[in-house]
Amino acid sequence: MVSATLIEILRCPNCVRTTGGELKLYKDAWFICKDCSRKYPIVDDIPVMLIEEGDKWAATAEDKLPVPPPAK
């Protein structure tokens, strides 16, 4: 499980400089950017905060995201 402190400070790497990039935690398995809808998986309790990874899931609806996210 990701710590509450980390949840508070993490931001979308794509949006942090323009719109703030605030993230929503979804089912303790994904971070979803409130601005651009990129979705970042949490694999083995480690958020994968790479823009390329967020791009892969941007078009996937929240309810269609696999829980737990696939490991690489």
Task: Give domain status of residue 16, yes or no.
Answer: yes
- Cα angle 67, 3, 28; round to 5: 15
pLDDT digits (tens, 9 = 90+) for 40-52: 999 999 999 999 9
Can you say whether the dihedral through the CA atoms of 46, 51, 56, 60 is positive or negative? Answer: positive
Task: Give domain status of residue 29, yes or no.
Answer: yes
- For residue 57, pLDDT beyond 80: yes
Residue-range definition of the domain harbouring residue 15 = 4-64
Task: Give domain status of residue 22, yes or no.
Answer: yes
Q: Check which CATH number belongs to the domain holding 17 and give it.
A: 2.20.25
Model confidence at 71, pLDDT cuts 50, 70, 90, reads confident
Closest CA to 25 of 16, 8, 70, 13: 8
This prediction has a pTM of 0.92
Instruction: State how many domains the chain has.
Output: 1
What pLDDT was estimated at residue 43? 95
Averaged pLDDT score across all residues of the chain? 95
Task: Give domain status of residue 70, yes or no.
Answer: no
